[in-house]
Amino acid sequence: MAYGFDTLQIHAGARPDPATGARQTPIYQTTAYVFRDAEHAAALFNLQEVGYIYSRLTNPTVAALQERMATLEGGAGAVCCSSGHAAQIMALFPLMQPGCNVVVSTRLYGGSVTQFSQTIKRFGWEAKFVDIDDADAIRAAIDDNTRAIFCESIANPGGHIADLDALAKLADKAGLPLVVDNTSATPYLCRPIEHGATLVVHSMTKFLTGNGTVTGGCVVDSGSFDWTASGKFPSLSEPEPAYHGLKFHETFGPLAFTFHGIAVGLRDLGMTLNPQAAHYTMLGIETLSLRMQRHCENAEKVAGWLEQHSAVDHVTYAGLRSSPYNDRVKTTCPKGAGGLFTVALKGGYDACVKLVDSLELFSHVANLGDTRSLIIHSASTTHRQLTPEQQKAAGAAPDVVRISIGIEDANDLIADLEQALAKAAR
């Protein structure tokens, strides 16, 4: 039977505990698991049998979350890890080799820009940044060493919505996987795999958990990419020495990437999600649709009010009719444009700082996707390491604040912004 999203967000991956009958998925706080016998242990280590070996690799609580994430995103499988940044490295790890590159959107979270422009160089990888709306620029950036195209579905901080259908066609023609960060949208608002994405990554820390308690990341595989077609992905298509020459794509088919992520990625990189964090994340996902509906309703109301304020230069929320990306809401995020956007103030940098310091309900934190409304001046914090040109391209110029709208009463949020903007104007 095909269940609806509201049902799946509660039931997918969650079965009564066979030992106790516990209805909520238990926190399996254990490092290791007892094997039935030596033959059973050998089969597990040879990937001939699926089961639990050691919690760096697999854990029942984390496995339940992985199943839920794969189900909600419409993927074949998922690998959960310790953070969103870990998920991005986990996504690229089987695809890349020294000398390879990935074509990346300029509209990314500042930490992701730093990770792609600086940190991955230490692996011998390169990122080529392009305007993800410019098809010609993307095609020009792709060369024989390109292994993926990477973008965000709803960009952090500006709320820009990517044309995933067009990007998927471009990636498919080039024989490359499209990797989409779906953190800001969540699978409730956008399911990138339905638009042709190969891999979907998440910082589960944000809207999925929704309560600001734990960090976590996830990579969901569509299971539809042919890793053997081009010879560019030997980690998945060629014999793996650590498993006696096993070929992941030949052996596991649609689950090749997922098995590699666990058997090699988590084994060697060790970016493990702990079971308690998985538990909190599953609790958050149970109310995802309810929260995202309120996030979107509140964001549209608050953004519309801000757009008319005399101290505001412009608002980037795609849910507004004035947004150049408003048409993409209908095709890419039909249930709403999310709860994230930026506001540019006429008073510039100083007005932004004063606004942040004058708010009472909004929390000044380096996070988003909480039930609480959050604000930050990206240019002096999350995007501080970037050049002025990079800040502007990412939507985090010095005259801009990023707002993550929570699920409070929208009128209370507007009143708080009104008093803070009055102080900022003075």
Which pLDDT score, from 0 to 100, does residue 323 have?
96
Confirm if 371 and 208 have CB atoms less than 8 A apart: no
In a domain, 13, yes or no: no
> 322 and 409: one domain?
yes
Other CB atoms closer than 10 Å to residue 118's CB: what's the count? Answer: 11
What are 154-206's pLDDT values in tens digits? 999 889 999 999 999 999 999 999 999 999 999 999 999 999 999 999 999 99
In a domain, 20, yes or no: no
Q: Which of 283, 316, 339 corresponds to the end of one domain?
A: 283
> 229 and 316: one domain?
no
> 192 and 109: one domain?
yes
In a domain, 346, yes or no: yes
CA 360, chain centre distance (Å): 29
**Does the pLDDT at position 391 exceed 90?**
no
Confirm if 153 and 180 have CB atoms less than 8 A apart: yes
Domain that holds residue 241: 25-283
Using DSSP's 3-state secondary structure scheme, residue 146 falls into strand
Task: Tell the residue number behind the tokens 């195209």, with chain if given.
Answer: 149
> 121 and 252: one domain?
yes
Which pLDDT score, from 0 to 100, does residue 309 have?
97
Cα gap 54→425, rounded to integer Å: 57
Residue with more model confidence, 217 or 16:
217
Nearest of 417, 402, 422 to residue 305 by alpha carbon: 417
Mean pLDDT, rounded, of the chain: 96
CATH code of 318's domain: 3.90.1150.10
Confirm if 194 and 341 have CB atoms less than 8 A apart: no
In a domain, 395, yes or no: yes
> 107 and 231: one domain?
yes
Beta bridge mates, 201: 181, 219
Q: Looking at residue 254, what DSSP letter applies? A: G
> 207 and 355: one domain?
no
Dihedral over Cα of 241, 242, 246, 251: its sign? negative
Of the chain, the percentage scoring pLDDT greater than 70 comes to: 100
Count: domains in the chain: 2
Which pLDDT score, from 0 to 100, does residue 390 have?
82
CA 154, chain centre distance (Å): 10
Q: By mean pLDDT, which of 77-81, 308-312, 382-386, 404-408 is the weakest?
A: 382-386
Nearest of 212, 219, 222 to residue 82 by alpha carbon: 219
CATH code of 231's domain: 3.40.640.10
Q: Which of 251, 283, 315 corresponds to the end of one domain?
A: 283
Dihedral over Cα of 30, 183, 330, 332: its sign? negative
> 260 and 362: one domain?
no
> 118 and 151: one domain?
yes
Confirm if 369 and 404 have CB atoms less than 8 A apart: yes
> 331 and 267: one domain?
no
In a domain, 171, yes or no: yes
In a domain, 343, yes or no: yes
Q: Which of 283, 298, 324 corresponds to the end of one domain?
A: 283
Using DSSP's 3-state secondary structure scheme, residue 264 falls into helix
**Does the pLDDT at position 234 exceed 90?**
yes
> 292 and 279: one domain?
no
In a domain, 67, yes or no: yes
Entry pTM: 0.95
In a domain, 371, yes or no: yes
Which pLDDT score, from 0 to 100, does residue 399 have?
92
Q: By mean pLDDT, which of 18-22, 85-89, 370-374, 395-399 is the weakest?
A: 395-399
> 300 and 173: one domain?
no
What are 27-69's pLDDT values in tens digits? 999 999 999 999 999 999 999 999 999 999 999 999 999 999 9
CA 117, chain centre distance (Å): 18
> 233 and 334: one domain?
no
**Does the pLDDT at position 426 exceed 90?**
no
Confirm if 4 and 72 have CB atoms less than 8 A apart: no
Confirm if 109 and 152 have CB atoms less than 8 A apart: yes
State residue 345 phi and psi, 5-degree precision.
-100, 140
Dihedral over Cα of 228, 234, 236, 238: its sign? positive
